[in-house]
């Protein structure tokens, strides 16, 4: 059995419990504590579960012989359905692929930084106060890119525009003015995505 979609429902449930434990403690439980956590009486049963999850790529053994998350541990279900923000759509059914959030949002980990957003100058593009933007750090951008720019040693997030031969920074909120830098300014990076929690 190498495909998570074909994994036994009990294994999927136990993997979920291990993921929840990891989210709380940033570590995986010992084999003996796993017996309590997963309500399993036998160490042999735990060993077989771990072997199956290792085979599927969800767990690995670290050099110190402790369990660690495998490559697929952080995968989340990506539904084959969509949800309509307007009219109703058909109800949810199982199926689809699995992805990691990192895989979906972070294309270049070595140059990616997460930056919290403060203020509402970009609200009309759906970038709200309290959101976190995923920024690929680089000193250049295309017109129309949403960028994090540095002006007078301060960060701002705006859409990069151009008027005649000058770059401008355009807000997405009518209550804010277009920024026309009088001095040189720098592009810190380009926004590649965003997220928020509720």
How far apart, in Å, do the first and last CA atoms of the chain sit? Answer: 37
Alpha carbon distance 117, 148 (integer Å): 10
Alpha carbon distance 198, 195 (integer Å): 10
Please pick, among 32, 158, 162, 197, the residue that the annotation labels catalytic: 158
Cα–Cα nearest to 103, from 73, 141, 69:
73
Backbone angles phi, psi at 31, to 5 degrees: -60, -45
Give the rounded distance of the alpha carbon of 173 from its chain centre: 26
Alpha carbon distance 72, 103 (integer Å): 11
Backbone angles phi, psi at 170, to 5 degrees: -105, 120
Cα–Cα nearest to 14, from 32, 37, 33:
37
Please pick, among 6, 121, 123, 197, the residue that the annotation labels catalytic: 121
Bridge-based pairing of strands 96-100 and 112-116 is unpaired
Assess whether 158 carries a catalytic annotation: yes
Assess whether 68 carries a catalytic annotation: no
Active site residues per annotation:
121, 158
């Amino acid at each position: 059995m190498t495909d998570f979609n074909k994994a036994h429902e009990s294994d999927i449930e136990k993997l979920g419990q291990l993921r929840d434990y990891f989210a709380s403690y940033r570590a995986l439980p010992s084999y003996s504590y796993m017996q309590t956590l997963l309500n399993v009486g036998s160490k042999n049963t735990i060993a077989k579960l771990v072997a199956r999850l290792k085979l599927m790529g969800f767990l690995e053994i670290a050099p110190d012989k402790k369990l660690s998350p495998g490559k697929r541990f952080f995968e989340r279900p990506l539904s084959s359905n969509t949800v309509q923000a307007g009219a109703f759509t058909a109800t949810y059914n199982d199926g689809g692929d699995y992805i990691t959030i990192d895989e979906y949002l972070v294309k270049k980990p070595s140059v990616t930084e997460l930056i919290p957003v403060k203020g509402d100058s970009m609200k009309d593009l759906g970038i709200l106060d309290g959101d976190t933007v995923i920024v690929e750090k680089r000193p250049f951008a295309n017109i129309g890119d949403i960028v994090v720019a540095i002006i007078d040693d301060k960060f701002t997030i705006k859409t990069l525009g151009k008027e005649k031969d000058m770059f401008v920074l355009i807000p997405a909120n009518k209550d804010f003015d277009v920024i026309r830098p009088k001095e040189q300014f720098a592009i810190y990076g380009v926004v590649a995505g965003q997220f928020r929690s509720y």
